[in-house]
């Protein structure tokens, strides 16, 4: 659904030249044929004397652009879907939904948290449980009864209060 919405949004903001440019650089066989036909028709239409009717060229160019819009929508859909499936962290970062600190740690400000899109479903409990399954905890000496986490150069240190 997200891929479809984003593809429709980006495609609808594109003009005729942007559609052709996108098809030109996405280089599939069908895309190349459409670009070549478009450029050929544009050239022929531009060479027509002012007294000649170019409506047949204009009509075919409009058809090519509509076909191109569908192909561009598919290209964008596939790109977004692939990013959501394989590169979600960077996708969310580029959209401004999450932030990254030095060292690659993911953070969320209060504003980002409250402005999460309705399609983002995040459950802190599940996240904590998932993270706890993947952690190896070692017992360290307590320091002034502090129970907190310190991050240093990418390493995680746990200071655990021990009740004897």
pLDDT at 104: 67
Which residue positions in the chain have pLDDT lower than 50? Answer: 134-140, 142, 146-148, 150, 152
Q: For residue range 108-119, what is the model confidence (pLDDT) as tens digits? A: 777 877 777 776
pTM reported for the whole predicted model: 0.62
pLDDT at 57: 86
* Residues 79, 19 share a domain: yes
* Residues 103, 33 share a domain: no
Q: How many CB atoms lie within 10 A of CB 128?
A: 10
* Residues 102, 81 share a domain: no
* Residues 112, 66 share a domain: no
pLDDT at 150: 47
Give the SS3 label for residue 99: strand
Q: How many residues are listed for the chain in this entry?
A: 164
pLDDT at 68: 94
* Residues 45, 21 share a domain: yes
Please say which residue of 67, 86, 105 terminates a domain.
86
* Residues 52, 103 share a domain: no
Give the range of the structural domain holding residue 104, as residue numbers without chain letter: 91-122
How many domains are there within the chain?
3
* Helix spans in 87-163 (H): 88-94, 110-114, 124-133
């Amino acid at each position: 659904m997200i891929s479809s919405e984003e593809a429709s949004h980006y495609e609808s903001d594109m003009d005729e030249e942007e559609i052709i440019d996108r098809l030109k650089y996405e280089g599939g066989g069908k895309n190349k044929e459409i670009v070549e036909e478009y450029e050929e028709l544009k050239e022929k239409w531009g060479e027509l004397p002012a007294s000649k009717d170019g409506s047949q060229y204009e009509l075919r160019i409009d058809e090519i652009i509509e076909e191109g819009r569908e192909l561009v929508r598919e290209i964008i859909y596939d790109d977004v879907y692939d990013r959501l499936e394989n590169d979600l962290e960077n996708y969310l970062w580029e959209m401004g939904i999450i932030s990254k600190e030095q060292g690659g740690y993911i953070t969320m400000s209060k504003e980002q948290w409250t402005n999460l899109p309705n399609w983002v479903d995040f459950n802190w409990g599940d996240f904590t449980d998932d993270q706890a399954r993947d952690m190896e905890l070692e017992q360290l000496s307590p320091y002034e009864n502090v129970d907190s986490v310190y991050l240093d150069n990418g390493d995680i240190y746990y200071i655990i209060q021990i009740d004897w």
